[in-house]
Amino acid sequence: MDRNIRSVDDVMRLMDGLFAPDADRWTEQGTDWWDGFYEVRSRPVPFFVAKPDESLVSYVERVLIIPGRALDVGCGPGRNALYLASAGFEVDAVDLSPGALAWAEERATEAGADIRFRCGDVFAPGEGAPEGPYDLIHDSGCFHHLPPHRRVGYLALVDRVLAPGGHLALTCFASGSMGSELPDAELYGTAELHGGLAYTPESLRLIFGELEEVELRRMRDEPADSPRFGEDFLWTALFRKPEGAGTLSR
């Protein structure tokens, strides 16, 4: 008989266990899955390209965000971290996969970019956890791989490390185009994340309701020869943390 729930972390781990092992890609237990995913760099995966998100470039060019400290969550091979560094940001980039980070570090060396890379779970507290304040948290593809209960930790991270007046730039699967549309409760019955979760603009506005919406739109589809990455099955959102904002997680 197990009676070992004593904390919120215990509850979270119990809920993690409701998903099949291969769905656990967003925690450190998912390292092997992601390393295998990044192992063959020649695979025709859209975001393997060394191009920044068109939305991120747009924010910089329109001066919706200005250089400062940036945290790139789930940085993968580092394409957006490299762009932020080139635009004058001081960049910390985190990913679960040592293979992805090795690729990102090679790209940074070739570009002469000074980026601090860290391997691990960005949401786990303790030694090595990101320390704010950050003027920008950037996430291109991490959020939609989180099980519903882990949004609590995501909001807690934003609340803890994003500076008042700072921005969250988010790219995630768009409902009707990519990702699972099952209600949150039903995901626990299937024991799968089905490759990632789809979101509507309304759901994003609800989840990030304590932040000010700056822009929320479909990512623009960019041609193959474009210097920017763009796929229209994604939402791009820019939110701002108000001055004197309260707690985002409940």
Average pLDDT, the chain: 88
Give strand pairing partners of 70. 91, 136
Q: How many angstroms separate the CA atoms of 94 and 116, rounded? A: 9
Over residues 212-240, mean pLDDT: 97
Of 58-62, 93-97, 237-241, the least confident: 93-97
Query: What pLDDT score was predicted for residue 130?
Result: 82
Across the beta sheet with 212-218, what order do the strands follow? 115-119, 90-95, 69-73, 134-140, 162-173, 234-240, 212-218
What's the domain count of the chain? Answer: 1
Domain-embedded: residue 250: no
Residue 188 lies in a domain: yes
- Answer whether residue 247 is part of any domain: no
Give the list of residues 6+ apart from residue 136 with CB closer than 8 angstroms, or none.
Answer: 65, 68, 69, 70, 71, 84, 89, 166, 167, 168, 169
pLDDT at residue 133 is higher than 90: yes
Task: Please check whether residue 2 lies inside any domain of the structure.
Answer: no
Please determine, for residue 95, whether its predicted confidence score (pLDDT) is greater than 60.
yes
pLDDT tens profile 5-56: 999 888 988 898 888 665 545 555 556 666 566 656 666 667 667 899 999 9
Helix and strand numbers, DSSP H then E, in the chain: 8, 7
Position 88 in a domain: yes
Residue 141: which CATH number?
Answer: 3.40.50.150
* pLDDT tens-digit map of 170-219: 999 999 999 999 999 999 999 888 989 999 999 999 999 999 999 999 99
- Higher-confidence residue: 62 or 192? 62
Question: Is 8 part of a structural domain of the chain?
Answer: no
Domain range for 24 is 14-240
- 25 within a domain of the structure (yes/no): yes
Q: How far apart are CA 29 and CA 27, in angstroms?
A: 5
Structure confidence at residue 226 (pLDDT): 95
Q: What pLDDT score does 126 carry? A: 64
Q: What is the pLDDT of residue 250?
A: 41
User: Whole-angstrom Cα distance, residue 250 to residue 246?
Assistant: 10
pLDDT of residue 124: 77
Q: Calculate mean pLDDT across residues 61-67.
A: 98
**7 is a domain residue:** no
